[in-house]
C-alpha cells in the first residue's frame, strides 16, 4: 500500500451544481477530534443526527445531518464522516474548507493536529480505499463507476448485479477449480515416476475440459456485458443527399441534423447515442463523400474518413432514386474501393438502401448486386426495425440472458488470456510424455489472468488507470 493511502481524505461527494442536498465525506483513522470540531459533539455510530455545522468561531455554516461510521464497518473500511447539507456550491465549499481547517488545527490536549495529513481526495480514492481494505474487489469497484455512468436501464441493472458480486462469483468459481487442478499437477512434480497415472486417475483432462467449458460460458456473458457498457460506434457514410442525416434523425427520433436538398449540407460529424434492446449505439452522421473544391467541405470529408476508420460498424447508405444513374454508381464504387483501402477488414459494412418510399420498384434491382443489407425509408420509418435487428446482429448481441452482469473490455481480454493459457495446458496434457512443469506454468498464468479481474493480482499502474476515471468524492 502506498504512503498516500494512509492519509485521511475529504471531498464533496455530490455532483457539481445546485441541489437540494450536498454531501461532504471524510475518511481516515481517528476522526473523533474532527467530529467534535465540526459538529460540536460526539456522534452515535450509524445514526443520523440533525445539528449545525460550525466554523472555527463556533458560528453555524449550515444545519444538516451528520453520520459517523466507525471502521471497519464503513464504505472505505476506515472511519467515515458524512455531512449532509443544503446543496449550494458555496455552502459545500465552506464545509470542505472547514474540515481541512479543523483537521490541521491543534488539539489542546495532545498538542497534535486533530487529523494529521488531511487532504482533498483524488478521483475515485474513496472507492480505492474500499478495494484496498477488502470491502469490495476490483470488479465490484468498477461496477460502481459503471452504475453511475450507465446510459440504459439494462446497463444499470447489469452493473448493479456486478456490484453485488455476481460477476466476481463466476470468476472465483473458475479460480477455485483452477487452483484444485494446479494442486494436482504440481503435486505430481515430486513423484515423476507416477505422474501420468496419478493425473489420469484424478481425471485431470476432464477437469481441464470442464474449466474450458465454464470459461466459454462466462466469456459469452462477459462479451454481452461489455456491449451493454461500451455499446458500438456506428458511422453513417455515403454520397451527398443519400439521406444520411435523415437516417440519423429517424434512428434518434429527433431532428438532430439539418436536412436540406443541398449537397454538402452536413460538413462535420453529428453524433447521438440511442439504445436498441438496452444496447447503446453511438450513431455518427458524417459529411457526404465526394470530390469537392470547397475547403471546409474537404475538411469535413477528411474527418468522415477518420470516423469510418475507427468505427465498429459502417452503414453504407445508397440512394434508391439514383441507383441506376451511371455517375451515382461510379461514386458508390469509388467509396467502396476507398473503404477497402482505408478500413480494417474486421469492420463490418452494412449496405442500406434508402428512399424506398420514392422508388419502391428499385429495391429488388438494387438487392441483386449489393451485399446483404436492408432497404428502408428514413422519411417514413419503413424498414427501420430491420436495420435495428441487423445492427444488433453485427454487434454480436444475443437476447439478454437472465442475470447478465456488466463487464469491461479489460475483463474480456483477461478471459481471452485465460482461454489461451488453458488451451496451451490442454495441448501439453494431451502430448506424448507431457512436460508437467510447462503444464503447471500455463495453469499458473491462467490463474494470474483471472485474478487480475478481481484485483487479487494487479499492478499499481492498473489501479491508477481504473480509479482515475471515477468522479471526485467517489
Known binding residues for (6S)-5-formyl-5,6,7,8-tetrahydrofolate? 25, 82, 135, 474
d(CA 131, CA 151): 25
Q: CB count, 10 Å around CB of 110? A: 9
Write out the three cell numbers for 30: 481517528
Cβ contact 288:264 at 8 Å: yes
Annotated binding site: 25, 82, 135, 241-246, 260-266, 285-288, 377-379, 474
Contacts of 109 (CB under 8 A, 6+ apart): none
Contacts of 158 (CB under 8 A, 6+ apart): 225, 228, 229, 404, 405, 406
Write out the three cell numbers for 309: 476508420
Please report where in the chains the cell 462469483 appears, as a residue. Answer: 169
Strand order in the sheet with 79-87: 49-54, 60-69, 79-87, 19-28, 9-12, 119-120
Annotated binding site for Mg(2+): 245, 266
Write out the three cell numbers for 115: 487529523
Annotated binding site for GTP: 241-246, 260-266, 285-288, 377-379
d(CA 19, CA 457): 40
Annotated binding site for K(+): 241, 260, 262, 265
Distances (CA, A) of 173 to 132, 176, 239, 330: 22, 5, 52, 57
Cβ contact 35:42 at 8 Å: yes
Please report where in the chains the cell 495453469 appears, as a residue. Answer: 443
Distances (CA, A) of 386 to 210, 394, 396: 38, 12, 16
d(CA 90, CA 253): 39
Long-range contacts from 396-403, C-beta under 8 angstroms, 24+ separation: 396/223, 396/227, 397/224, 397/227, 397/277, 397/279, 398/224, 400/154, 400/224, 400/277, 400/278, 401/221, 401/224, 403/161, 403/166
d(CA 380, CA 195): 71
Grouping H, G, I as helix, E, B as strand and the rest as coil, residue 65 is strand
Contacts of 34 (CB under 8 A, 6+ apart): 26, 81, 99, 102, 103, 114, 115, 118
DSSP states of 203-257 as a string? THHHHHHHHHHHHHHHHHHHHHHHHHHH-EEEEEEESTTSSHHHHHHHHHTS--S
**Do the strands 349-354 and 373-375 form a parallel or antiparallel pair, or are they unpaired?**
parallel
Does an H or E element contain 49, and which? strand 49-54
Amino acid at each position: 500500500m502506498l504512503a498516500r493511502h494512509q492519509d485521511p481524505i475529504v471531498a464533496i461527494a455530490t455532483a457539481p451544481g445546485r441541489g437540494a442536498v450536498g454531501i461532504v465525506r471524510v475518511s481516515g483513522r481517528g476522526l473523533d477530534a474532527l467530529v467534535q470540531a465540526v459538529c460540536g459533539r460526539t456522534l452515535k455510530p450509524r445514526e443520523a443526527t440533525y445539528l449545525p455545522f460550525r466554523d472555527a468561531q463556533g458560528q453555524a455554516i449550515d444545519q444538516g445531518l451528520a453520520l459517523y461510521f466507525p471502521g471497519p464497518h464503513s464504505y472505505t473500511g476506515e472511519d467515515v464522516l458524512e455531512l449532509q447539507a443544503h446543496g449550494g456550491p458555496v455552502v459545500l465549499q465552506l464545509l470542505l474548507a472547514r474540515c481541512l481547517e479543523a483537521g490541521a488545527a491543534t488539539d489542546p490536549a495532545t498538542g497534535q493536529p486533530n487529523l494529521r495529513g488531511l487532504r482533498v481526495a483524488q478521483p475515485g480514492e474513496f472507492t480505492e480505499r474500499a478495494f484496498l481494505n477488502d470491502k469490495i474487489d476490483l470488479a465490484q469497484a468498477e461496477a460502481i463507476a459503471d452504475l453511475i455512468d450507465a446510459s440504459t436501464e439494462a446497463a444499470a441493472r447489469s452493473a448493479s448485479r456486478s456490484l453485488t458480486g455476481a460477476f466476481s462469483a463466476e470468476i472465483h468459481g473458475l479460480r477455485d477449480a483452477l487452483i484444485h487442478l494446479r494442486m494436482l499437477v504440481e503435486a505430481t512434480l515430486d513423484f515423476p515416476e507416477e505422474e501420468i497415472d496419478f493425473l489420469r486417475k484424478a481425471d485431470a483432462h476432464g477437469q481441464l475440459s470442464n474449466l474450458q467449458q465454464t470459461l466459454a460460458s462466462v466469456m459469452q456473458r462477459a462479451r454481452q456485458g461489455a456491449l451493454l457498457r461500451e455499446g458500438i460506434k456506428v458511422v453513417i457514410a455515403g454520397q451527398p443527399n443519400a439521406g444520411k442525416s435523415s437516417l440519423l434523425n429517424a434512428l434518434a427520433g429527433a431532428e438532430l441534423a439539418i436536412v436540406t436538398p443541398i449537397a454538402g449540407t452536413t460538413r462535420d460529424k453529428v453524433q447521438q447515442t440511442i439504445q436498441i434492446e438496452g444496447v447503446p449505439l453511438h450513431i455518427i452522421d458524417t459529411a457526404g463523400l465526394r470530390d469537392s473544391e470547397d475547403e471546409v467541405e474537404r475538411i469535413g470529408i477528411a474527418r468522415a474518413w477518420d470516423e469510418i476508420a475507427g468505427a465498429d460498424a459502417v452503414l453504407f447508405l445508397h440512394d434508391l432514386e439514383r441507383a441506376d444513374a451511371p455517375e451515382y454508381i461510379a461514386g458508390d464504387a469509388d467509396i467502396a474501393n476507398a473503404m477497402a483501402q482505408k478500413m480494417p477488414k474486421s469492420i463490418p459494412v452494412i449496405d442500406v438502401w434508402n428512399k424506398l418510399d420514392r422508388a419502391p420498384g428499385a429495391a429488388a434491382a438494387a438487392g441483386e448486386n449489393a451485399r446483404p443489407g436492408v432497404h428502408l425509408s428514413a422519411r417514413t420509418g419503413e424498414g427501420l426495425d430491420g436495420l435495428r435487428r441487423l445492427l444488433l446482429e453485427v454487434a454480436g448481441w444475443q437476447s439478454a440472458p437472465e442475470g447478465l452482469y456488466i463487464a469491461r473490455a479489460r475483463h474480456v481480454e483477461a478471459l481471452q488470456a485465460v482461454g489461451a493459457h488453458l488451451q496451451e495446458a490442454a495441448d501439453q496434457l494431451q502430448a506424448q510424455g507431457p512436460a508437467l512443469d510447462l503444464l503447471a506454468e500455463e495453469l499458473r498464468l491462467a490463474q494470474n489472468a483471472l485474478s487480475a479481474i478481481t484485483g487479487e493480482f494487479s499492478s499499481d499502474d492498473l489501479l491508477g488507470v481504473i480509479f482515475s476515471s471515477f468522479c471526485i468524492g467517489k
